[in-house]
Amino acid sequence: MLTRVILSHSEELSNWGRFQIDQKHFRAWLVRSHASFTEGERFEEFVDTGCCGGAHYIEFVVVSVEGSGPVTSETEIEYTEHPGCDLDGGWGTQHEARP
C-alpha cells in the first residue's frame, strides 16, 4: 500500500486555495481519482470556486512517494511548496473585474 505522498503546489497559492486543498473532501478526491502517484509526476486538479465561479485549477508535482501499490483511504497526503508561477485564487477567480 502507498503509505504517504508529498505533493507540491505553487508558493503563490492563495489562502483560499490552501483552504480548499486542505479540506477532507478534496483529499478524498485525490485518493479516489488517482490509482497511483509517481515521483516527478505533474497534474492539475479543479478546486471549488463557489456557486458563481469559473474553473480554478491548481498544478501539483509529486515530490515523494512512500510505500508501493495502490492509493487507498489510508494513504497520507501532505503538501509542500515550489517556486510560484503567478497563480490567482479566491473570489477574484469568479469575476473579470478582479483587482
Q: Read off the CATH number of the domain in which 40 is found.
A: 3.10.330.10
**In this structure, is residue 93 part of a structural domain?**
no
**In this structure, is residue 42 part of a structural domain?**
yes
**In this structure, is residue 92 part of a structural domain?**
no
Prediction pTM value: 0.80
Residue 90 has pLDDT above 80, yes or no: no
pLDDT confidence band for 91 (50 / 70 / 90): very low
Residue 10 has pLDDT above 50, yes or no: yes
- Provide the domain limits for residue 39: 2-84
**In this structure, is residue 96 part of a structural domain?**
no
**In this structure, is residue 44 part of a structural domain?**
yes
Residue spans of beta strands (DSSP E) within the chain: 2-10, 42-47, 56-67, 76-82
**In this structure, is residue 10 part of a structural domain?**
yes
Our CA dihedral for 94, 23, 41, 67, rounded to 10 degrees, sits at 180
Domain count, the chain: 1
